[in-house]
Amino acid sequence: MVSRKKIALVGAGQIGGTMALVLAQKQLGDVVLIDIAEGVPQGKALDIMEGRSVLGTSAILEGANDYTALKDSDVVIVTAGLPRKPGMSRDDLLSVNYNIIATVGKAIKEYAPNAFVIVVTNPLDAMVYAMQKVSGLPANKVVGMAGVLDSARLACFVAMELGVSAEDVQAIVMGGHGDTMVGLYNFCSVGGIPLPQLMDKETFDRLAKRTATAGGEIVALLKTGSAFYSPGVSAVKMAEAYLLDKKSVQTVAAALDGEYGVEGGLYCGVPVVIGANGVEKIFEVKLDEEEQKAFDVSLDAVKELVAWVDKQ
């Protein structure tokens, strides 16, 4: 008998709601939305349930206000926390979101210790590191969503610049999920054509810079929150790779244990293979001198935040 998969979304805000809809459409499993806001997870779950005959899906959605609803989840995606407001950096969210991640991490340890956990809450690299430490889950089963989104943003800007379809653009953005993230010119391709044959470095650098500040660009437009559609579909892509054992190559925040010369389980955006065992492999790509320098600067920014987490 094939059993239905259970996907728990901790945080039923903008990203949580988006993911619930997309997960239901894709029929990847039943979905439980968990949030401290009374009525919100129940309301969003019921709203999507009522659209199922139109969507053509048999997924079952529920809402809950306590963490016991995590029980036996196959995947847990965590967006619980506060988003950025205009003028706030991702790092400003550090202490308030740390306390939330600590609470959620303990609950995951108790109710869903076998789950694949995807953290989305910012500041991302520090929060996923904290989640792994607090939950005690194996490092290959705890990942952060940032690189999928940052790479998608860069692919979007490259596609817009060249007037081609974004789905034909392959891009990699590595490093921490902050202003120091590193877009890789030589790793970008368009329909299999290496980008340097289609675009000069100066143009690429402008697009990579826009990518690093793309979250802030949306915050400034929305004024009341941060991006949620593209973050939502990016986290779903990671969950899908795990649930379907796709061996999918994606850039995610993964725990480094010697790779890229980084020790201590520090989390940073790198290309990995995601399958039924979570992060099954980390690819160590060869960076040129300039890229390596930028990656090191980005790592230093992550280390600073992680040092704060280690003191808690």
57, 79, 135, 140: which one binds ligand A3D (CB under 6 A): 79
The contact mask relative to ligand A3D for 216-255 (x = CB under 6 A, - = no) is ---------xxxx--x------------------------
> Residue 87: what are its φ and ψ, rounded to 5°?
90, -15
CB of 37 to ligand A3D, least distance (A): 4
Q: How far apart are CA 191 and CA 42, in angstroms?
A: 43
Angle at Cα 251 formed by Cα 24 and Cα 280, nearest 5°? 85
- Asked whether the beta carbons of 267 and 244 are under 8 A apart, the reply is no
**Which residue, 11 or 278, is less far from ligand A3D as judged by CB?**
11
**Strands 61-64 and 30-34: what pairing?**
parallel
Position 298 contacts ligand A3D (CB under 6 A): no
- Asked whether the beta carbons of 69 and 8 are under 8 A apart, the reply is yes
- 177 in catalytic set: yes
CB of 136 to ligand A3D, least distance (A): 19
CB of 2 to ligand A3D, least distance (A): 30
Chain centroid to Cα 213, Å, comes to: 16
Position 83 contacts ligand A3D (CB under 6 A): yes
Q: Which residue is nearest to ligand A3D (CB)?
A: 13
CB of 289 to ligand A3D, least distance (A): 28
Tell the burial category of 72 from Cβ atoms under 10 Å away from its Cβ (0-12, 13-18, 19+). exposed
Positions touching ligand A3D (CB under 6 A) are 10-16, 34-37, 40, 79-84, 93, 97, 100, 103-104, 120-122, 124, 145-146, 149, 177, 225-228, 231
